[in-house]
Structure 1
Amino acid sequence: MNDKATAFRQLHDEPGTFIIPNPWDIGTARILAALGFPALATTSAGMAFSLGGAEGATPREDVLSHCRAIVGATPLPVSADLEKGFGDSPESAAETIRAAADIGLAGCSLEDHTGDRDDPIFDFTLAVERIAAAVEARRALPHDFVLTARCENFLWGRPDLDDTIRRLQAFERAGADVLYAPGLHDLGTIRTVCEAVTRPVNVVMGMPGASFGVAELAAAGVKRISVGSALARLAFGAFVEAAREMRSTGTFRFSERAMGFAELQGFFTGATKA
């Protein structure tokens, strides 16, 4: 665990921008590791879809079991998307960090999204108190752990850049290691966020809207790039398209686009590499 945590911290401290892709099960985690990515992050939506449920509704023990499986799938450090954690209070945020560390995660993210569509963002003071409690719990761990603090304004109908930066700056002062505001759709806004803080910034690609490459994001100041549920949505989309073809036309042309059996199996036997 110490080696994984140290390696994950080093990725954030050393020069350069890195991609941290998001598998949704053991097989996809092993494929991404075989392709040479340096770390992995879970996706709460991809996990929920793989379990046949909606995002935000997965029970605590199922979330931890899923994360434990991803941690054990490869030698890579794993950061978990734990949404708002396992409750609303600062104490629950601290408990979330301890639970995450206990199953071998090298880090996790906590959101200021309440889970309530009618009142989606935690009050500013409570949001900061939650991150401060999580930081205190992280500092009490016997090993390193990278805490990512997320501001969800742009995903929940509150595209207020000033408030987003205010929250990220407060999370930084509280001790968060990485800052993250998903839903930023232009390089100028991304650059403004990166310049407003001194801690590493995570940006998500693969959402609807503009998409930028690693070089462009690095130039804007981004340290870490994740893809959220994009890989899961891509895979599930191909599955649904194939199922609809069979159901509606009675044809099987989808198989022409399928990866060969030997190549796919090679990811799990060591024969297929990047």
Structure 2
Amino acid sequence: MNKAELFRALHLGRAPGDPLVLPGPWDAASARVFAEAGFPALATPSAGVAACLGYEDGATPAEEMFAAVARIVRAVDVPVSADVEGGFGLAPGELVERLLQAGVVGCNLEDSDGGVLKDPREHAGFLAEVRAAAGGALFVNARVDTFLHGDGDPERAVERAASYVAAGADCVYPIRAPVDVLPLLRAGIQGPLNMLAGLDGEGPSPAALGELGATRVTFGPGLQRRAARALREIADTLVP
């Protein structure tokens, strides 16, 4: 079984309360920490990588993002999925080629641009082209931004998710969805469901999200930001 097959298999047959937990490394050093801790796979956050490279979220040039992701992949033996925002304006075939060159086994693709939701039919068409170009070599996680940039209507989120799954997405990610709508999303969405978890007691634990229907749990840039705060606390003790 290759890494792409292993990554896909990790999403299947998850028991309630046992979601796939994917920490988000922002550089090679953090990736090694998570891999050595025993996590079976990793998922890079675009905002965390951007911070590491000195950019605001959404402002990282494609070349630098792919180079950073490739360094993370080279640093560990476990499968790595990459958040590539909206695809950097690349054509589906070129995007897939760049992802595979970087060595990743999956990607996040969001359905908004500049804080505005994309037309769901057009985005579904884009996802279908990515799927056709990638075949089984990439696990496509389609982000649904209804709760982040839309009106927060769960039914609309389910509609968008359904169209993306029909287009070939392997998983959907209704980012910032309130926990109380998770059972409704789970009932209306086929296949794996990604939920965002907080840290330090902010929101339900990964296990609790799994009990409510999450297949996998990610943290966005939360781990990078928590590490930055810890480093700041250390730095403050060093100031003369």
TM normalised by structure 2 equals: 0.91
Choose which of 121, 127, 131 in structure 2 pairs with 1:125: 121
Q: CA deviation at 1:207?
A: 7.3
CA shift in 2, pair 1:94/1:151, >3 Å: farther
**2:9 maps to amino acid:** Q
Choose which of 82, 85, 89 in structure 1 pairs with 2:84: 82
**1:211 maps to amino acid:** G
CA deviations 1:220-239 (Å, max 9, x no partner) are: 12111111101101011223
Q: CA deviation at 1:246?
A: 5.4
**1:101 maps to amino acid:** L
**1:9 maps to amino acid:** R
Q: CA deviation at 1:125?
A: 2.0
Between stretches 215-224 and 167-176, larger displacement belongs to 215-224
CA shift in 2, pair 1:207/1:189, >3 Å: farther
Question: What residue in structure 2 maps to residue 47 of structure 1?
Answer: 49
**2:148 maps to amino acid:** L
Q: Which has the higher strand share?
A: 2
Choose which of 24, 32, 35 in structure 2 pairs with 1:33: 35
Corresponding residue pairs, total: 237
Choose which of 177, 180, 193 in structure 1 pairs with 2:170: 177
Choose which of 212, 217, 222 in structure 1 pairs with 2:209: 217
- Unaligned runs of 5+ residues in structure 2 are none
CA contact 1:78–1:106 (8 Å) conserved in 2: yes
CA shift in 2, pair 1:79/1:57, >3 Å: same
**1:92 maps to amino acid:** A
Work out the CA distance in 1 between the residues paired with 2:127 and 2:4.
20
Larger relative CO (CA 8 A, sep 6+): 1 or 2? 2
- Counterpart secondary structure, 1:193: helix
**2:36 maps to amino acid:** A
Q: CA deviation at 1:242?
A: 4.2
Aligned runs of 1:189-208 on 2, under 5 Å?
189-206=181-198
CA deviations 1:150-196 (Å, max 9, x no partner) are: 1112122531222111100100111110111110122x311111111
Aligned runs of 1:147-186 on 2, under 5 Å?
147-156=140-149, 158-186=151-179
CA shift in 2, pair 1:173/1:220, >3 Å: same
- Counterpart secondary structure, 1:13: coil
Work out the CA distance in 2 between the residues paired with 1:219 and 1:71.
31
CA shift in 2, pair 1:241/1:162, >3 Å: same
Work out the CA distance in 2 between the residues paired with 1:33 and 1:207.
19
**1:215 maps to amino acid:** A
Work out the CA distance in 2 between the residues paired with 1:94 and 1:85.
11
Work out the CA distance in 2 between the residues paired with 1:224 and 1:124.
23
Work out the CA distance in 1 between the residues paired with 2:200 and 2:227.
16
CA shift in 2, pair 1:61/1:246, >3 Å: same
Question: What residue in structure 1 maps to residue 11 of structure 2?
Answer: 12
TM normalised by structure 1 equals: 0.80
CA contact 2:117–2:150 (8 Å) conserved in 1: no
Work out the CA distance in 1 between the residues paired with 2:14 and 2:50.
34
CA contact 1:185–1:210 (8 Å) conserved in 2: no
Work out the CA distance in 2 between the residues paired with 1:217 and 1:234.
21
CA contact 1:44–1:56 (8 Å) conserved in 2: yes
Percent of paired sites with the same residue: 34
Work out the CA distance in 2 between the residues paired with 1:31 and 1:191.
33
CA contact 2:172–2:193 (8 Å) conserved in 1: yes
CA contact 2:93–2:130 (8 Å) conserved in 1: yes
Q: Which has the larger radius of gyration?
A: 1
